[in-house]
Structure 1
Amino acid sequence: MTKAYGEGDTRVVALDAVDIEIPRGRLTAIMGPSGSGKSTLMHCLAGLDSVTRGRVWIAGTEITGLKDKELTKLRRDKIGFVFQAFNLLPTLTAEENITLPTAIAGRKPDADWVEQVVAAVGLQDRLRHRPAELSGGQQQRVACARALAARPEIIFADEPTGNLDSRAGAEVLSFLRRSVDVLGQTVVMVTHDPGAASYAHRVVFLADGRIVDELADPTAEGVLERMKRFDKIRTS
């Protein structure tokens, strides 16, 4: 998969022939320095951006050839998103925010599944609260539950703890890992934080638009050492 912007002398290659497989039922973290292509990779995998060359599949469906209407439906039904900004509707309760995607799709939410998700994020006593009545960590947990409520094939999380303090961030990361281990979800998380990456089953490292390394069962210390090694290579 290649993603380039511009033409001729102004052409910039954001992703340079990247080949990656995201295993089902695992939490995969994508890391790299600023400008390495990690957000571009996530956006292309999720169908939020087109690729210049190459193909992308989600659960057996090639998304790179889909028309806009088909792609919108696939993102609605098969993909969940968690962003750094919580993106909750302020006039809705936590429960209404969680079930909003299924309501927009004209479907009734699976009550038993939503109950499992709510229990997993520990929001049982906050369902009737509006976002302004919740802490940042609670709002992000609502966003995570919303992403899970439609039972997507995969969830993409872009710096999900970027606006949170360390304690709230740890709560959200613990839930994302628990959603994989207990609920069988598949999660891809873009992060710059070695501590956040340590919650993943696997870390994929990008530099200059290419995958340069991987690390299984990471620790924060191991991720930090790997990143220091890349910095030395880039500056030598």
Structure 2
Amino acid sequence: MSQAATTPTTPQAPAHAGAAACAAGLSKVYGEGETRVVALDSVSVEFGRGRFTAIMGPSGSGKSTLMHCMAGLDTISAGSARIGDTELSRLGDRQLTRLRRDKIGFIFQAFNLLPTLNALENITLPMDIAGRKPDQQWLDLVVATVGLSGRLRHRPSQLSGGQQQRVAVARALASRPEIIFADEPTGNLDSRSGAEVLGFLRESVRELGQTVVMVTHDPVAASYADRVVFLADGRLIDELAAPTPEDVLDRMRRFDTKGRTS
């Protein structure tokens, strides 16, 4: 692995339309006047198809806001956010709901499983609501990939935390979305269960061609990604390819030192 550059560089604006998602000059502002907060400040970034990208930064850096704006969960104040060729700011509420249902998968720190449904029913729930039948061959492959074949009839209370998050991963994968957004997906898991879930996400990219964008504060979790982008004060300030935990930690320490001395 090459030595990390001494001076962080700002990633360039999206260069082609083949990305699963991209932002160009994306800004998000909350409040007005004295209460005005700039959560994102003209961020441009591209998330390539079939790639695993981690978003990192200190608390308040804007990483979750970026994910929420890119996933259509929050509005943008300026700039552009696209899923494939679809510009999110041009969609109404009903169109956004359909986009999130049909093209986006979500994995959150809280597993968000319905306790009265078994694992299989939780996995297929979004498609059931949409009135769509799952592709059985794809569903079987997803279930096998995340190692749930023997647990499909169990309810969440009968599963460990790691197994519950595997169900959430399978649910996100089951509809074959264009992109999966994961917000601190291992935050409620022990290190072993977290490693298993991250391994399944990595496998979904490598074996199933999935696109994953994950917000995390954990250098070890980030090392499962193909690429890490770093935010600070609402701006994209650096990126790192083929990360190792040591590289990520070193980069984060450097940003922290710069912040204290600036």
Q: Deviations over 1:84-105 (max 9, x none)?
A: 0000000111001001111000
Find the counterpart in structure 1 of residue 104 from structure 2.
79
1:179 partner SS: helix
* Aligned with residue 237 of structure 2, among 197, 212, 218: 212
Find the counterpart in structure 1 of residue 172 from structure 2.
147
* Aligned with residue 90 of structure 1, among 91, 115, 127: 115
Work out whether 1:233 is the aligned partner of 2:247. no
* Aligned with residue 126 of structure 1, among 141, 147, 151: 151
Work out whether 1:137 is the aligned partner of 2:162. yes
Find the counterpart in structure 2 of residue 69 from structure 1.
94
Work out whether 1:58 is the aligned partner of 2:83. yes
Q: Deviations over 1:171-195 (max 9, x none)?
A: 0000001000000000000000000
* Aligned with residue 170 of structure 1, among 195, 206, 211: 195
**Aligned-partner Cα distance in 1 for 2:27–2:79:** 6
What 5-or-longer segments of structure 2 have no aligned partner? Answer: 1-25
Q: Deviations over 1:51-96 (max 9, x none)?
A: 0001111111111110000000000000000000000000111001
What 5-or-longer segments of structure 1 have no aligned partner? Answer: none
**Aligned-partner Cα distance in 1 for 2:206–2:235:** 29
Find the counterpart in structure 2 of residue 12 from structure 1.
37
The CA deviation at 1:30 is: 0.1
In the superposition, the TM-score normalised over structure 2's length comes to 0.90
**Aligned-partner Cα distance in 1 for 2:124–2:30:** 37
CA RMSD of aligned residues (A): 0.5
2:125 partner SS: helix
1:155 partner SS: strand
2:80 partner SS: coil
Q: Deviations over 1:98-122 (max 9, x none)?
A: 0111100001111100000000000
Runs of 4+ in 1 over 4 A off after TM superposition: none
Work out whether 1:200 is the aligned partner of 2:188. no
Work out whether 1:48 is the aligned partner of 2:65. no
In the superposition, the TM-score normalised over structure 1's length comes to 0.99
Counterpart of 1:234 in structure 2: which amino acid?
G
Find the counterpart in structure 1 of residue 62 from structure 2.
37
The CA deviation at 1:9 is: 2.1
Give the number of aligned pairs. 236
Counterpart of 1:103 in structure 2: which amino acid?
D
**Aligned-partner Cα distance in 2 for 1:210–1:52:** 15
Counterpart of 1:27 in structure 2: which amino acid?
F
Counterpart of 1:31 in structure 2: which amino acid?
M
**Aligned-partner Cα distance in 2 for 1:205–1:108:** 39
Find the counterpart in structure 2 of residue 109 from structure 1.
134
Task: Pick the structure with more strand per residue.
Answer: 2
